[in-house]
Amino acid sequence: TAPILLADYRPPAWTVEQVELTFDLAIDRAEVDARLALRRKVDEPIRLNGEGLELIELKVDGRVLSEGEYILGDGMLEFTATGDTCVVETRVALRPAENTAFEGLYLSGSRETGFLLTQCEAEGFRHITFFPDRPDVLSRYTVTLRADKARFPVLLAGGNPDGSGDLPEGRHWARFVDPHPKPSYLFALVAGRLERISRDHVTADGRRVALHIWAEPDAIDRCDYAMDALVRSMRWDEDAYGRNYDLDVFHVVATHDFNMGAMENKGLNIFNAKYLLADPDSSTDDEYRHVEAVVAHEYFHNWSGNRVTCRDWFQLSLKEGLTVFREQSFSADMNSAPLKRIEDVALLRRAQFPEDAGPLSHPVRPSQYSEINNFYTATVYEKGAELVRMLAGRLGPEGFRQGMDLYFARHDGQAVTIEDFLRALGEANGIDLMPYLAWYEQSGTPRISADGRYDAAQRRYRLTLRQRTPAVDGQAARRPLPVPVRLSLFDPSGQATPLRLEGEAAPDGVERTVVLHTAEQVFTFEDIAQAPVPSLLRGFSAPVILEYDYAPDELALLLRHDADGFNRWEAGQQLAGLAFDDARDGRQQGAALDAWTTVLAALFHDPAVDDALLAELLTPPGEIELVERQPERDPQRIRDARLRMLGALAARIGVPALRQRYDALSAMARGDLDAASQARRQLKRRVLDLIALASPDDGRALARTQYERAPAMTDRLAALSTLALADADAAAEAIAHFRRRYDGNALALDKWFAMQAQLPGDSAFDRIRSLEADPAFTLKNPNRVQALIGTFARANPTGFHRTDGAAYRWLADRLLAIDALNPQVAARVATAFNGWKRLEPVRREAAHAVIAALSSRRDLSRDLTDILGRVAL
Ligand code: B3K
Ligand code: ZN
């Protein structure tokens, strides 16, 4: 099928002003009556999307159409209407229990105890009823649900409740009216046996809102943390953006059967249980933070996405990039801002940079797609958030708030574009932001090379900045982008220097943002007394790769003295990169390796460095990032070199000091969730890993004790992982114990699968095969598939990238099986092949053969075909 092009966008020929839906729900078969009030915009026939629907009846203005009066095929129902308005009524039948793709109406859990729910973004509504299923058709919805009362005691849909009651034969009904016009992708319903926790929230503008979080009975006592997070999110959006919630009720529902993280359906958010349920015994600290972030993200969509939505799916980042940015700001306010920034940039580098450097690279606003579900990517989300952050930085906090106020006021109830967003932000500030559109339209990670020259006679420092974006896969040459570079200059004692640019009368602080607008620009700083060390791109002021030829001792200076918590970490990461080169090339006495271990050993004993930052500083870039430093990728060489550098660090700090720190941290261990306790656990984990490297026997003994005594999941899982990494056989008993202890706890078992899927080396593949035989493993559950297969393929480079290609063939085989059940999940797992072209030759050939064979098959879903077709290029 031909791709859909942004350039082909045309407004809808008919809009739908009013939608009335009536569902008769049951597990095996549901009937949906739809009554659509349409209005003509263009003189064309009515075309409604519909997939997999059994059409029972079609009426136009009250008259039943006979078969010759409409065309039904290729996912479309087409017929003509005469007037400028018309009422279309359809009745269709659906088969929820057979829907393994989890798109449209489906069953979560078992036939006996499970519940029914919907997922519509991006194009799932067409699996529920015939409709112009595109985000620029905004309608008012009235939804009536009918079902057996004993089997489906809870009936929910988006909007305000509008009555309920009993029906004959043990059935009941409930009606919901949503006063806010919305696109079809925000429709949702839920029906089944669920329990709830509730709270009231009064918005800043005085609306009393009933908040309900729903889960299956065995999970309802794990929803309290999410409820707290929801209330914090609502309050924060009121304070930070002046945004209030706009219905009388807000429902959130947890399911174990979900293709992605969560979904912001209007008034009825639906969550993958992984991002909603939390309790100390089964959730790690990271998971608690994820729950808080995802609850906030989905809630924030109520304005950035729902009240103001996207004109078409090319604009996806309009809501996703913006909402990720809002969520990041919220998390920074709730926790530690520098740590949050470190975490976000690390994620960008781990997930988005590789995506943008391989065949799946695409702009934040793609110009074409063949399957939109494949564009819910790190580029659209994470890079998109970086673009909003750049705009916010350009405008300053007040200017950005004014711009956002104008955006929401001007476009409330509309479906708009990235241009509309840039215009609103710009006009509120009298600034033309259109040059930033290039960031949305060009793919690839820009490289900024910086070169500093100090002129002692003139007391002048000239900084030359150049930009280039390597073209990926034959895309057109790149335009220069506006690149804000926040910077400071440090003198050799570690003091930041006042900054006066050439032509200015006086210095303006010790930190400045210069903007590179062209391919190359020179910035001259005056009155600089000594050759400085530049701290560039502070706070990661633009999503670029910075190239500056730092000497190890310059990075060491920044690592010691930079006041910007992010850049301090960044200096450590750069230095670790150079130290890795030393370790890889056998330079055990290399200057970088020496500087890295020396400074970190000093910081290890520095009481001014807090536990959380120290834990981050002790973590060098991961194997997946380090791969970028290798022209031809050999995962085993990378892993070995990384372990050697960590071994050198452990030796430099010394086992006694590590032990002492470990014992001190252990003595303070409780299961508490406050930031200081989390930081201690994080640091303890790093220290334990270092001990295990330098003194394996000590490491094993400590890990075993930690596993046995752990008060909560974070310490328990960390210990299990350290134990298994040190010696998988010695860990067998603990692994089996964990399996028994958490039998029946899906989210804990996912971590058990994922932890083992990451264990490196030659034996990994056999381990995966035996884990597949565990009775708890199933290809039908997306979380389980991601935990075992996704983790192995994405996060276990030495295990997956075997020279014999066996794991590639196995993955191809599993992809076929998954694709037959759930195309979206298959496509997502298949992105693990993205980097194959830069593998060393033996692995590259093996991967190529597998990808070529798989992508030539004609029986794959559009989702998987699209990914494989692009990856194979
Ligand atoms: N908007 C949803 C993602 C929908 C994915 C569709 N395949 C979650 C989110 O970003 O909030
Ligand atoms: Zn989102």
Task: Choose among 836, 855, 849, 748: nearest CA to 797.
Answer: 836
Q: Is 298 an annotated catalytic residue?
A: yes
* Closest C-alpha residue for ligand 1 atom 7: 373
State the closest ligand 1 atom to the C-alpha of 305, by its place in the atom list counted from 1: 1
* Tokens 């002129």 -> residue: 455
Ligand nearest the Cα atom of residue 323: 2
- Probe target for ligand 1 pocket from 120, 182, 320, with the most ligand atoms within 8 Å of CB: 320
- pLDDT given for residue 319 in this prediction: 99
Q: Which of 260, 306, 369 to mutate to test the pocket of ligand 1 (most atoms within 8 A of CB)?
A: 260
- Nearest ligand 1 atom to the CA of 103 is 7
The answer to whether the CB of 298 is under 6 A from ligand 1 is yes
* Domain boundary assignment for the chain: 1-188, 309-441, 447-542, 758-873
- Look at phi and psi of residue 383 and say left if phi exceeds 0, alpha if psi is from -120 to 50, else beta: alpha
33 DSSP assignment: E
Question: Which ligand has the nearest atom to the CA of 121?
Answer: 1
Query: Are the folds of 1-188 and 309-441 the same?
Result: no
d(CA 761, CA 768): 12
**Closest among 851, 770, 769 to 809, alpha carbons compared:** 851
**Whole-Å CA distances, 682 to 44, 666, 677, 695, 714:** 61, 11, 9, 20, 9
Nearest CA to ligand 1 atom 2: 263
Q: How far does the centroid of ligand 1 lie from the alpha carbon of residue 263, in Å?
A: 5
What is the distance between the alpha carbons of residues 720 and 708, in angstroms, rounded to a whole number? 10
Instruction: Write the DSSP symbol of residue 65.
Output: P
Q: Of how many residues is the chain composed? A: 873
Contact 20, 38 (CB under 8 A): no
d(CA 103, CA 259): 8
Q: What is the phi/psi pair of residue 863, to 5°?
A: -60, -50
Question: What is the token pair recorded at 469?
Answer: 């974006």
**Is residue 271 within 6 Å of ligand 1 at its C-beta?**
no
Closest ligand (CA of 385): 2
Instruction: Write down the pLDDT at residue 727.
Output: 86
Question: What burial class does residue 866 get, using C-beta atoms within 10 Å of its C-beta: 0-12 exposed, 13-18 middle, 19+ buried?
Answer: buried
Active-site hit among 298, 327, 343, 554: 298
Are the C-beta atoms of residues 93 and 30 closer than 8 Å to each other?
Answer: yes
Phi, psi of 338 (to 5 degrees): -65, -40
CA of 858 to the centre of ligand 2 (A): 33
CA of 651 to the centre of ligand 1 (A): 46
Ligand 1 neighbour 616 (Cβ under 6 A): no
CA gyration radius for the chain? 28
- In angstroms, the Cα distances linking 861 to 157, 686, 789, 864 are 30, 43, 19, 5
CA 259 to ligand 1 center in whole angstroms: 9
Alpha carbon nearest to ligand 1 atom 10, residue = 320
As given in the structure block, the two tokens for residue 620 are: 């060098």
For residue 263, the ligand closest to its alpha carbon is 1
pLDDT for 473 equals: 62
Q: Name the closest-CA residue to atom 5, ligand 1.
A: 121
Q: Is the CB of 373 under 6 A from ligand 1?
A: yes
Q: How many helices (H) and strands (E) are present in the chain, helices listed first? A: 29, 32
Pocket test for ligand 1, best of 185, 371, 376, 863 (most atoms within 8 A of CB): 376
Nearby residues for ligand 2 (ion, Cβ within 5 Å): 320, 323
CATH-assigned architecture of domain 309-441: Orthogonal Bundle (1.10)
The verdict on the CB of residue 122 being under 6 Å from ligand 1 is yes
- 119 Cα to the center of ligand 1, angstroms: 10
Q: Is 376 in the pocket of ligand 1 (CB under 6 A)?
A: yes
Give the residue, by CA position, lying nearest to ligand 1 atom 9: 263
- In 754-866, DSSP assigns E strands to none
Classify residue 205 as left (phi > 0), alpha (psi -120 to 50) or beta.
Answer: alpha
Place of tokens 């276990």: 796
Residue 263 Cβ inside 6 Å of ligand 1? The answer reads yes
Atom of ligand 1 nearest to the CA of 373: 7
Tokens describing residue 686: 């790093």
Contact assessment for residue 472 and residue 361, using Cβ atoms and an 8 Å cutoff = yes
> How far, in Å, is the centroid of ligand 1 from the Cα of 759?
30
Q: Is the CB of 355 under 6 A from ligand 1?
A: no
CB distance 320 to ligand 1 below 6 Å: yes
CATH superfamily of 1-188: tricorn interacting facor f3 domain (2.60.40.1730)
Q: Is 262 in the pocket of ligand 1 (CB under 6 A)?
A: yes
What integer pLDDT is reported at residue 475 of this predicted model?
66
Whether residue 746 is preceded by a cis peptide bond, meaning omega within 30 degrees of 0, is no
C-alpha 802/C-alpha 557 separation (Å) is 40
Q: Which atom of ligand 1 is nearest to the CA of 259?
A: 7
Give the model's pLDDT for residue 633: 82
Whether 264 lines ligand 1, by a CB cut-off of 6 Å, is yes
Domain range 447-542, CATH architecture:
Sandwich (2.60)
Other beta carbons within 10 Å of 657: 16
ipTM of the complex: 0.99
The CB of 297 under 6 Å from ligand 1? The reply is: yes
Which atom of ligand 1 approaches the CA of 121 most closely? 6
What atom of ligand 1 comes closest to residue 324's alpha carbon? 10
Q: Whose CA is nearest to atom 3 of ligand 1?
A: 263
pLDDT value, residue 248: 98
User: If you take atom 4 of ligand 1, which residue's CA is the nearest one?
Assistant: 121
Residues above pLDDT 70, as percent of the chain: 100
CB 486 within 8 A of CB 530: no
Rounded CA-CA distance 293/238 in Å is 17
Residue 388 carries which side chain, given as an amino acid letter?
V
- Answer yes or no: are the C-beta atoms of 489 and 588 closer than 8 Å: no
CA distance 720 to 706: 9
CA of 185 from ligand 1 middle (Å) equals 10
Centre of ligand 2 to C-alpha 412, Å, is 18
pTM above 0.95, yes or no: yes
The DSSP annotation for 182-212 comes to: E-GGG--EEEES-EEEEEEEE-TTS-EEEEE
Which are the contacts of 90, defined by CB distance < 8 A and separation ≥ 6? 32, 33, 34, 36, 48, 55, 57, 58, 59, 77, 129, 130
CA-nearest residue for atom 1, ligand 1, is 263
Of ligand 1's listed atoms, the one at least distance from the Cα of 824 is 7
Q: How far apart are CA 147 and CA 863, in angstroms?
A: 33
257 alpha carbon to ligand 1 midpoint, in Å? 15
Spans of the chain, pLDDT less than 50: none
Say how many Å lie between the CA of residue 74 and the centre of ligand 2: 30
The verdict on the CB of residue 828 being under 6 Å from ligand 1 is: no
Atom from ligand 1 closest to the CA of residue 301: 11
Cα 521 to Cα 380: distance, rounded to the nearest angstrom? 29
The ligand with the least distance to the CA atom of 185 is 1
Q: Which mutation among 106, 121, 371 tests ligand 1's pocket best, with the greatest number of atoms within 8 A of CB?
A: 121
